[in-house]
Amino acid sequence: MSEEPVIQPPKQRFAPDPWCLRETAPDPATHFLHETLFALGNGYIGVRGTAEEGWSGPAGTSRDGTYLNGFYESEPIHYPETAYALAKTNQFMLNVPNAKGLAIWLDEERFDPLQGTLDAYERSLDLRRGVLERSLRWTSPSGKSIAVHSRRVVCFDNKHLLALEITVTPLNFSGTLRIVATLDGAVRNLEAGDDPRVGSAVSGASLELLSAEQEDGFSALVQRTRNSGFTLVSATLVDAPGTVRCSRAALRLEDACEVPAVQGQPVRATKYVSYHTSRDYPESELLPRSRALLDAARRDGFDALAARQADYLADFWRQADVEIDGDDLLQQGIRFNQYHLLQSAGRDGKTNISAKGVTGEGYEGHYFWDTEIYIFPFFLYNKPEIARALLEYRWAGLEAARRRARQMSHPKGALYPWRTIAGEECSAYFPAGTAQYHINADIAYSIRQYLDATGDDDWMRAHGAEIVMETARIWLGIGSIDRHGRFVINEVTGPDEYTALVNNNYYTNAMAQAHLEFAAALAARLATEFPADFSRIASAMALEAGEPEAWRSAAAKMHLPYDEALGIHEQDDSFLSKKRWDFDSTPAENYPLLLHYHPMVIYRHQVCKQADVVLALLLLSSRFGLDDKRRDFDYYEAVTTHDSSLSSCIFSIVAAEVGYADKAYDYFMETARMDLDDTHGNTCHGVHTAAMAGTWLGVAQGFGGMRTDGGTLRFAPTLPARWRGYRFRIHLRGCLLEVGVAAAGTRYRLVQGDALHFSHHGKAITLTAAQPEHMEAA
Ligand code: BGC
């Protein structure tokens, strides 16, 4: 790979401030990683945490980037040996023009914190305010000292807008100060190397220049993607003292201001930045919209944008904050993760959550099942409007999923892509891609959760039911009744990507069963309660009269592999006959196995990359007894490497349920600070959004024992020995419930809403507006 870091960052230990991430020196050893951790985003724009003056550290210690969720280029996938219906085109999130640049010149010397002397330095991200701030004092090689204060905000309340402000104070001289704002279109994407999780198979520039505009501090680049055919307008507006002079060198636009600097007198420049694309607006509107937005932002000023950001976040934390009493490191990790989730989630119905959010190019900005199974509950119970927008995205992709089903020889139904941006299958390695048919059941599962939690029948009638039924049809397309009368699903890959193309993956079959039952139940409900909707959808899908009954019958006959001798669910028909991986002889440096062994070597063994059966134990919790869960956990834990970042959170939750408190805690810790401590060694390429959401799941579903499958809300709280207590809130059916667990017991409080029924370790509880609190002693 061309841009592999040459310096490995040490494991990070930020001071355990519960609301803030603080860096105390710019350091080549941590810079690449910190670019990710200090990245800002608003679900659409994402900017990596590189400073305004850029970075002059050694090669490989930086990968600057600005990304727009869902803004992609496409390239044909080249297979040296191809086959029918393999994914033809890749889509990858583009690195777009860098508008962060604000260089400072003291006469002829350029400010660079890695040259001269840094007399003081602090960079911080306050999670309550959502502003990245930096304060430093620096002395140039020739002895001139300045104080620099910078602020950066990527606005949550306007997806197209970000702003940067820089204040420079000459401390021991008077002279000329020049601030040069740049908009740099000469950016590239990272090229793929040996690690399949990093970079894209692209070389060269993906954006062609159509025009450039510069006038009165306003600069804009109008560019078009070569293959996907989208137009992008990146624009900046500089507000600075003195005259702003513009200049241009190829794709680099500059707006410079020069001021006589007086010792002790601060000089401030503010740069407002916008990105608009033809994915959202007609091409002719892009420039006028950019101009209008930036003018309005300048009129409002940075302080007003910052104040709106703080308001937005105050509202978010009021709903979503998870408090841990007794562990500050963990508290910081949890809030950091929640904050990054908020920064990552597309919320316009056209975009989703990529595996790395908008913080890096890992996994090419693709959306996976990570959203539905890991991240969706966080938004559903904390910001339901975002959860709904995520489902809208799947609705927007239904036609593409129908087309994909036809390519895959399914005459009916819809098959969602394993990884995609705009809806088409982008997975070039089908054994760990297209073969993961469980994506259909995962989406249906999240729709069911959504409907249970919100009672949003309007959405169900308009979109949800059609998605669920169309996707359910695929199971009858790939499954069949075997000679024992069982419904079997052959040649699929389950969640565990160290086992591929198997018959009857337990997770897939169990989730397909739930999906089929749900689809049949929805069809019946629609037909009785909303007959007009039922006929409309049935005719759109050409649904035949007997189909819902066929779904029910397939579900009833579903083969769910179980080994009587071991008393465990088999991961698939062949898993238990394989040789166990020789863990004792595998050196630590050979993990993750995927970077050290051919896939077939791995597939031949009993070894799991991530939770598979164990995940089914959580999602379909009410279908298993506790003893079964414990035996499954014991068996699969022993053969799981957790090489996927999606694994430890699920093991933590199930460990808590089966009574393994220490394991629950350890797996939870692994998840909660995965990115802050860079435990997978690749956070430099972007955060792990699924694992971040796994932290929230770990509190609510793990220690809080929250389950909603089967239509009822249940809690079974436990308190980790190292904590004094914890508290989280959930939104459900118009109510806001607070669950507080401490040594004395669990306190439930209905913060908002009329009435809520749930159970505590099996005991039924009802809270009402008149009686909003209930305490259960430990
Ligand atoms: C995991 C998948 C996941 C993907 C993106 C892979 O390593 O095995 O389950 O969807 O990463 O996060």
Of all atoms in ligand 1, which is nearest to the CA of residue 497? 8
User: Are β-strands 579-580 and 605-606 bridged in parallel, bridged antiparallel, or unpaired?
Assistant: parallel
What's the rounded Cα separation, in Å, for the pair 103 and 111? 7
Which domains can be identified in the chain, with CATH numbers?
Answer: 21-286 (2.70.98.40), 341-712 (1.50.10.10)
Alpha carbons 658 and 663: distance in angstroms, whole number: 10
Q: Which atom of ligand 1 is nearest to the CA of 609?
A: 8
pLDDT at 202 over 90: no
> Residue 145 pLDDT > 70, yes or no?
yes
Sheet holding 244-249, edge to edge: 109-110, 102-106, 175-184, 252-261, 244-249
Per-residue confidence band for 277, with pLDDT thresholds at 50, 70 and 90: very high
User: Of ligand 1's atoms, which has the minimum distance to the CA of residue 363?
Assistant: 5
Distance in Å, CA 433 to ligand 1 centroid: 10
Cβ atoms of 212 and 297 within 8 Å: the answer is no
The atom number, within ligand 1, closest to the CA of 368 reads: 10
State the number of CA atoms in the 13 A half-sphere of 252 facing the CB: 11
The Cα–Cα gap between 697 and 116 comes to: 47
CA of residue 185 to ligand 1 center, whole Å = 32
Task: State the pLDDT at residue 12.
Answer: 55
Chain-centre distance for alpha carbon 629: 29
Dihedral, 271, 274, 275, 280 alpha carbons, nearest 10 = 180
Given this model, what pLDDT does residue 143 score? 97
Cα of 575 vs centre of ligand 1, distance in Å, is: 20
Residue-wise pLDDT tens digits, 95-135: 999 999 999 999 999 999 999 999 999 999 999 999 999 99
Mutating to test ligand 1, I would choose from 352, 426, 646 the residue with most ligand atoms within 8 A of its C-beta, which is 646
> Across the strands, what pairs with 674?
none
pLDDT tens-digit map of 516-536:
999 999 999 999 999 999 999
Please report, rounded to a whole number, the percentage of residues in the chain having pLDDT higher than 90.
94
Using DSSP bridges, classify how beta strands 745-752 and 755-760 pair: parallel, antiparallel or unpaired.
unpaired
Q: Do 413 and 474 meet the contact criterion of CB atoms below 8 Å apart?
A: yes
> Whole-angstrom Cα distance, residue 344 to residue 359?
8
SS3 290: helix
Q: Which of 368, 443, 493 has the most ligand 1 atoms within 8 A of CB, as the residue to mutate?
A: 368
What's the pLDDT band for 197 if we cut at 50, 70, 90?
low
**Which of 644, 648, 685 has the most ligand 1 atoms within 8 A of CB, as the residue to mutate?**
644
Expressed in angstroms and rounded, the spacing between residue 588 Cα and the centre of ligand 1 is: 21
Share of the chain above pLDDT 70, in %: 97
Of residues 238, 192, 196, 248, the one with CA closest to residue 217: 238
Residue nearest to atom 11 of ligand 1 (CA): 644
Condensed to tens digits (0 to 9), the pLDDT of residues 225-276 reads 999 999 999 999 999 998 889 999 999 999 999 999 999 999 999 999 999 9
Nearest CA to ligand 1 atom 7: 644
- Cα 619 to the center of its chain, rounded Å: 20
How wide is the angle at C-alpha 101 spanned by C-alphas 100 and 103, nearest 5°?
A: 145
Q: What is the DSSP string of 558-601?
A: B---EETTTTEE-SSTTGGGSEEP--TTS-GGG-SGGGTS-HHH
- Residues touching ligand 1 (Cβ under 6 Å) are 355, 363, 368-370, 495, 497, 609-610, 644, 646, 690
* β-sheet bridge partners, residue 47: 40, 66
Q: For residue 197, how far is its CA from the centre of ligand 1 (angstroms)?
A: 9
Cα separation, 754 vs 234, in Å, equals 48
AA letter at 271:
K
Contact 747, 400 (CB under 8 A): no
Render pLDDT for 529-586 as a digit per residue (tens, 0 to 9): 999 999 999 999 999 999 999 999 999 999 999 999 999 999 999 999 999 999 999 9
Question: Across the chain, what does the average pLDDT equal?
Answer: 96
Kindly name the residue from 424, 470, 497, 517 that is annotated as catalytic.
497
- What is the number of alpha carbons within 13 Å of residue 323 lying toward its C-beta? 13
- Residue 203: its pLDDT value, please? 64
How high is the pLDDT of residue 459?
A: 98
DSSP H or E stretch at residue 540: helix 531-541
* Ligand 1, atom 12, residue with closest C-alpha: 355
Nearest CA to ligand 1 atom 5: 355
Q: How confident is the model at residue 2 (pLDDT cuts 50, 70, 90)?
A: very low
Among protein residues, the one with the nearest Cα to ligand 1's atom 9 is 495
694 C-alpha to ligand 1 centroid (Å): 13
CA angle 652, 657, 658 (to 5 degrees): 100
Residue among 369, 497, 499 whose CB has most ligand 1 atoms within 8 A, to mutate: 497
Question: Which distant-in-sequence residues (6+ apart) come within 8 Å of 19 by Cβ?
Answer: 126, 127, 128, 332, 335
- What is the number of the ligand 1 atom nearest to the C-alpha of 644? 7
Nearest residue by C-alpha to atom 6 in ligand 1: 644
In this structure, how many other beta carbons lie within 10 angstroms of the beta carbon of residue 220?
Answer: 25
Distance 369 CA to ligand 1 centre (A): 8
Active site residue 738: no
CA angle 245, 251, 253 (to 5 degrees): 15
| Tokens representing residue 164 in the block | 């940067």
Q: Which alpha helices (DSSP H) does 455-530 contain, by range? A: 457-459, 465-478, 506-529
Residue nearest to atom 1 of ligand 1 (CA): 644
Q: What string of DSSP letters covers 145-205?
A: EEEEEEEEEE-TT-TTEEEEEEEEEESS--EEEEEEEEEE----PPBP-S-TTS-BS--S-
From the alpha carbon of 419, which atom of ligand 1 is closest? 10
Tell the residue number behind the tokens 């040296």, with chain if given.
80
Q: How close is the Cα of 646 to the center of ligand 1, in Å?
A: 7
d(CA 332, CA 342): 15
pLDDT value, residue 205: 83
The amino acid at 541: M
Q: Is the pTM of this model over 0.85?
A: yes
pLDDT digits (tens, 9 = 90+) for 722-778: 999 999 999 999 999 999 999 999 999 999 999 999 999 999 999 999 999 999 998
Distance 418 CA to ligand 1 centre (A): 10
Measuring CA to CA, which residue among 261, 275, 35, 15 is closest to residue 148? Answer: 261
376 CB-side CA count, 13 A: 27
Residue 602 has pLDDT above 90, yes or no: yes
Q: In testing the pocket of ligand 1, which one of 93, 366, 370 has its CB within 8 Å of the most ligand atoms?
A: 370
Radius of gyration for the chain, computed over Cα atoms and rounded to the nearest angstrom: 27
Q: What are the distances in angstroms from CA 769 to CA 131, 745, 749, 753, 756?
A: 37, 22, 10, 7, 9
CA separation for the pair 240, 220 (Å, rounded): 18
Q: Say if residues 350 and 279 touch (Cβ distance below 8 Å).
A: yes
Q: Taking CA 131 as the corner, what is the angle to CA 377 and CA 694, rounded to the nearest 5 degrees?
A: 20
Cis peptide before 717 (omega within 30 of 0): no
Write the single-letter amino acid at 153.
Answer: V
